[in-house]
Amino acid sequence: MSAGYGSYGLCVEPEFRLTNQRLPMIDRGVTLCLAHVRGGGEMGRERWYEDGGKYLQKRNTFTDFIAAARLLIDQGLTTPSMLAIEGRSAGGLLVGAAINLEPTLFTAALAAVPFTDVLTTMRDATIPLTVGEWEEWGNPNQRDFYEYIASYSPIDNVPEGELALR
């Protein structure tokens, strides 16, 4: 299982707690991986986040996540038929975009409280927090940001015929 977030410059630190629900999965042989993708700040705020993971560079977040998944496969740690991914909130956007870009790379996904309807949400300035979110994604009321966000917004990029549950 691979998890990622990749937004707001947040560094997601790996943690272990005995009460963590992942322990039973580890006992059953599941390998857990936390992907540090652009949009986070693990490799420096300026280069990794400001210049490489937000606004008109946001797609780097999704391609980094896909590259991390491919690395796990190339190293023999998993296969596409055994690879599950997880993301919450902006991480749900990450998961949704990755599935749309590479639908055969993953067998299952958990997108908890996913931010998947990016265009509709970000165009409505009356929704609390939206205007502040423009600092992460850009303002889709401006043409360049609209077109870029439209290119990755998960709900707007579901491949033809993929809306049905598999």
- 3-state DSSP of the chain: CEEECCCCCCCCCCCCCCCCCCHHHHHCCCCCEEECCECECCCCHHHHHHCCCCHHHCHHHHHHHHHHHHHHHHCCCCCHHHCEEEEECHHHHHHHHHHHHCCCCCCEEEEECCCCCHHHHHHCCCCCCHHHHHHHHCCCCCHHHHHHHHHHCHHHCCCCCCCCCC
What's residue 166's pLDDT?
46
pLDDT below 70 — which residues of the chain?
1, 18-20, 161-166
What's residue 123's pLDDT?
94
Domain residues of the chain, as ranges? Answer: 2-116
pTM over cut 0.75 = yes
